[in-house]
Structure 1
Amino acid sequence: MKDESNESNESNESNGINVKADLAPVLTATPTGIKYIFNLLFGKKHVEAERMLKLADAQNTVDVKKILSGEATYDHSSQQLITTGTPSSQLLISERIRSEEVSNLIECSVQAAAYIEESKGSDEVGEVDGLEDFVNRWKSEAKLISSEAAQAIWGRVLAQEVNLPGSISLRTLDVIKNVSKVEASDFNEICKYVVFDKVVPDNTLGAPISNEVFSSVRDAGLIANFTPGMYRSSTWPKTQLSISDASELKVLYVQCGDLFVFIDEDGLSSSKLDAPSFCYWELTSAGRELYKVVRMNMVVEIGDVLKVLYKKDNDFLKLAKYTRYTSVEKRMVDTDSIKEVPAS
């Protein structure tokens, strides 16, 4: 005997409708975020949005079946199914496209709600300069996003802009909408190597980042240029590190994600080694903005950082140590958890 619920779901998928099985756990986990996002997207139509959310639940397959079969159409203004006679092909296509767009928009919105800051989500939606324009552009693109991975990105992009208005430009939305699945995967891979939130080191060895990956990210408009053999380079910048005993240590350092890798300037000098440097490719403005979105839940490991800082003559790394930032924005590091860099 066939499982009727499975048969129904298979029918929906074969017709291009991807209906989430159960959103209840997500809604329970992020109730304030969901409320904020739907108020932001639909305003006074929040009740209607809740209705659309229920339609996205596979338990409501009866209504979906009626729409797909042409027995009824869904009237958004009245939130009612309207029984029809013999539907026209144009009407069927229109309703199918509308259902897909509503489903996609809801999925992206749920992804956004999970990243809305609690203090923001608990407030009423207020007037923020530029946010309305951003949300309107976001909606026009998000409704076309059907893959789960892409929906996660678009959700985080909206959350980033809500949490920090002005951090994502409309131009960046134009770039992101044209990024392919492969390009997105390649960019996600290089993000764990980004230093100072704006450049990607290249040790010129072709590993761990290959020329193909660099070319892919360049073609996506996320790094400004890539021409092997024509590199820009930079020495490690200098700063002063306040140790727990109140003494100041002069160091050369690299920031990668929340990692702080450094070398004592005096130790480097006594070893008669030159200041370390690295070749790099610069992220575009869209690349920098998207990187901040990816960085939200990215864990950077010291081993990965060393891979892109490594060169044939890497004696300076024997002097390096590392710790983590307690606040990247405030440039504060944990001086109580300093460790030796592992041997390569």
Structure 2
Amino acid sequence: MTDTDKLEQYINDTFSKIIDAQGRPLDVSLALPTLKQILTGYYQEIVSSKFDFIGESALQFAINLILVQRYSKYDNRILSLLAKKFRAPLQLYKQIGKQIQLNQYVRPTYLKEKMEMILGVLYYFYGIAAVQKFIEEAFVFFVENELNNASSPKKAKAPNSSDNNPVQTLYEMVKAGNGIVEISYLDTPDKKWQVNIIARLNEKSLLFSHARASGSKQKAKNEASRDILAFFANNPDVRRQLEISGDGNAETHALPISENDYCHLFDESTSIVNSRRALKTGDWDGENNCTHLTQDGHEEATLLLEKLLLSNNMDVDVDARQVKRQRQVPGTSVGTSNIANGTHPPSEKLAS
């Protein structure tokens, strides 16, 4: 068998497995000459067809179709975040190439270019259904991993364990996702210390915050940490939402913890799970240009971030250190924990 015969056999074996919109195997003969040119590198005659440009757009459309058909239970904002992860789809292309053993004809340097030309050819000759079926197995593999990671975070020790404390537990929870914790202090007019905790659960997830005031820095920090842990224990859906990547957007969002739900570690015994019903619903309040999650409503918890994701520029990736500098104001002291490096600031020594 000649090399040309082997190539034609490879093309037929690979692309005849794809089903068109009518549920029939593709008639590979329609695209065979074009696919041969692409895989052999002799495609000067088809450059003007712009198959790579068509393929790039067809990929994003096919991704959206798969998300809608397979994951319609999720809110549109969550689907948008998932789709955004594949705007630079090299890992997806590598997975597809591995599945169809494309490396025998395409060197890694040219994988993206060739893959997008192939997608363009599939769309041109067979329609979007062929593109969808071609990428579906690999794409679903990545999406399932992403959702599983968000839904099954590493469990930290219960914050009321005898060998643990709320601040340490919060650090450990954030460290599990390579996130960050920043703690700042401010003197209040009634001679108390107000602590503000700002954190993200992984490197590019959404920033959230919570503040408490007490007679000492340590007390305020412990009670604020316990409030956050209790809120996440009562509202696991909200925690999962916050773990989905927000691509490093810089806006900070106050957790909707009411004073009635505050933990008072030094006045009374408080359990991590209180009698308040779990937060299942929510809407948004943009009062004073501050976005706050509220506790009332009747929609699914996945809608909690809808307005946030609509209003933010999700394409901007802001360095967390820049966020810190922008937030720090005169009269405050800030302690930052770089969880990714496993370090804590000198002023933020954790209680033993």
Report the TM range for the smaller structure's normalisation. Answer: under 0.3
Q: Normalization by structure 1: what TM-score? A: 0.27
Q: Normalization by structure 2: what TM-score? A: 0.27
